Each structure stands twice: as C-alpha cells, then as structure tokens.
Amino acid sequence: MKKYIILLSVLLSTATLADCESTEFGEEVYPTHCANCHDVLPQQIVPKFQSGDRLDKTDAELIESILNGLNMMPPWKIQEWTDDELNQIICYIRSLENNE
C-alpha cells in the first residue's frame, strides 16, 4: 500500500508542471500586469521570479495566486484568462528564473 501512495504522489507532482509549448501570452501579459511589482519592488515585498522565488510551488498553487491574489497582489480572475493562457503565463514566469 505504501508503494502505491508513493507512486501516486510522484505521478501527481510531475503532472502539476505546465506543458510549456508556448510562453507567448505570458510574454504579453507579464510586462503590463506583473512587472510593475515583481520587477521593481524589493524582494522582501514581492517574489522575484528571476531568483526562483515561489517557483517551487505547483502550477495549481501559482494559478491560485494569480486568480485570487496573495498578500498585496490583486486577484486577476476578472481577466477571465483561459486555461491555455494561464498555462502560458506560468511557463513564462518559470522561464524567468536565472534571467536577472
């Protein structure tokens, strides 16, 4: 039983990573909706994706933060982005790591 639980958790953890075929929508959205805080404010206030902050989170956790907001970050669910658009945003954010 324990082996099945471990296998299931491994499968679920790999299933939470976005299929990054495109970052195009993320490249379009990030500068207008995200960069004013994430690229400008100090790391003590907001995560810096270029440094890997919060990139240990699952895609579902990141999408939850995007849609519903977190701390001082406003919710973006009013944008009514599609699953594919959210996937491209996540892929773009993950691509920023080590691009300081």
Cut 0.75: pTM above it: yes
- How far is 27 from 89, CA to CA, in rounded Å? 7
User: Going by C-beta distance under 8 Å and a sequence separation of 6 or more, which residues neighbour residue 81?
Assistant: 25, 29, 89
Confidence of residue 1 (pLDDT cuts 50, 70, 90): low
- Per domain, the residue ranges of the chain are 2-95
Looking at residue 100, what is its pLDDT?
62
- How far is 81 from 29, CA to CA, in rounded Å? 11
Between residues 5 and 62, the one the model is more confident about: 62
Q: What's the pLDDT tens digit per position in 36-85?
A: 999 999 999 999 999 999 999 999 999 999 999 999 999 999 999 999 99
When the pLDDT of each residue in the chain is averaged and rounded to a whole number, the result is 85
- How far is 58 from 3, CA to CA, in rounded Å? 23
- How far is 5 from 7, CA to CA, in rounded Å? 5
Q: What is the CATH architecture assignment of 2-95?
A: Orthogonal Bundle (1.10)
